Structure 1
């Protein structure tokens, strides 16, 4: 794609896998339950309500989430991007390392996660991306933002759960419902791309995307060391 630049080393931060026991760095109770940041050797892990969400051991699928959305947009000049979920920051770092993107909005509902990136150990992954003038970090609930925000985007990259079939909180399930997918389509400009990260493929979710009026529905797989591959579900709002 025109003006695309190679990812900076910061965007591909992949510490070595370690067997060290975890050390809790921070534990907070928020409006959605408990969130914990743990360190295991050089790795960092985010745990929500006792459920493992993500760590810094790889990041390929989080980067693919952004790259696949960009590629599906074709040659659109400086497309706008919404990243749903800051997580460990791989998706944001990847987007900010790519000159093709225009405005990059990140929605994160957990104040603790934002703090870990702004002034904590996860800043090593996202400090440059958060300083990028294109980046806007929004402390909001993603479901509420998708339903109520007036802004529209060329791409929505969503990574707030372990997938459409395995949500972190019950409220997040509404994001993958017919009404939630219709709201996602409304947040997209014509021809815009919806990309959804998942820890496993979901044929039912592909059907839901088609039933919601999306076209070009497909799934890209990312092999993992054990078990089923991570995937990115992709769909296009018809022009």
Structure 2
């Protein structure tokens, strides 16, 4: 159940819900007309600008030749990536992995439903309530694209455990879960040349980074690579 709003008059922020999840405390709050997700005091994302989250999905699709390709989206977040994928008829199966039950609830019957735009009801879409690292480590379905947005990037993880995703074992698991020729796309709050080198070392081909300018600071980035 969503808790009653708590208003912080000092910075004009309204806390809409606060829960404990597998990654610690996760908070949904409203700042003006926008919503924000905070985990363990770390800002994850908001609804102010979804350009880079949409590019995450579009760049993967543009790199694929398969008809009706399948995609796994790591992290439901504020719903921009899922909504964009569901609006594209070229995608076939769309699987979303989200470890925080609160985030799923906020989309099913909460204020974030407007941003996922009914995509959770699309017959192509399946939402898995599980940890992405555990999901990838298990033997399972392969995909034509993996679009991951669970951290602020390879160099800025939300939890220490997530760092394993970007190391040799995690990249090997990602490689295994792609079909031959499949595309890996990872969102980052800043470009990471070191991660580009790690992708190449893990056997990925066509490694590149697309930068997305932002209003202030370093650009957002989408790291792209292909399973040869």
Shorter-normalised TM range: over 0.9
Which runs of 5 or more residues in structure 2 are unaligned?
Answer: 1-10
Which of 216, 220, 223 is the matching residue for 2:210? 220
- Contact 2:22 2:99 (8 Å CA) reproduced: no
1:71 maps to 62
For residues 201-237 of structure 1, give each alpha carbon's deviation from its aligned partner in whole angstroms, at most 9, with x where no partner exists.
0000000000000000000010000000000000000
**Structure 1 104/174 Cα, relative in aligned 2: closer, same or farther at 3 Å?**
same
Which of 129, 138, 142 is the matching residue for 2:128? 138
Q: Map of 1:9-88 to 2, 5 A cutoff? A: 21-73=12-64, 75-88=65-78
2:178 maps to 188
Give the superposed CA RMSD: 0.8
1:126 maps to 116
- Contact 1:118 1:127 (8 Å CA) reproduced: no
Structure 1, 61-70 or 23-32: larger mean CA deviation: 23-32
**Residue 118 of structure 2 aligns to a residue in which SS?**
helix
1:17 maps to none
CA distance in 1 between counterparts of 2:42 and 2:212 reads 21
Which of 224, 232, 235 is the matching residue for 2:222? 232
2:140 maps to 150
**TM-score computed with the length of structure 2 as normaliser:** 0.94
Which of 148, 165, 171 is the matching residue for 1:175? 165
**TM-score computed with the length of structure 1 as normaliser:** 0.90
CA distance in 1 between counterparts of 2:139 and 2:127 reads 14
Give yes or no for the alignment of 1:160 onto 2:140: no
**Structure 1 41/222 Cα, relative in aligned 2: closer, same or farther at 3 Å?**
same
Matched positions, count = 218
Question: What stretches of structure 1 move > 6 A for 4+ residues in a row?
Answer: none
Q: Offset at 1:31?
A: 2.2
Q: Offset at 1:30?
A: 1.6
User: In proportion to residue count, which structure has more strand?
Assistant: 2
- Contact 2:56 2:81 (8 Å CA) reproduced: yes
- Contact 1:51 1:168 (8 Å CA) reproduced: yes
For residues 130-162 of structure 1, give each alpha carbon's deviation from its aligned partner in whole angstroms, at most 9, with x where no partner exists.
111000000010001111141100000000000
- Contact 1:117 1:127 (8 Å CA) reproduced: no
- Contact 2:83 2:116 (8 Å CA) reproduced: yes
CA distance in 2 between counterparts of 1:146 and 1:69 reads 18
- Contact 1:198 1:230 (8 Å CA) reproduced: yes
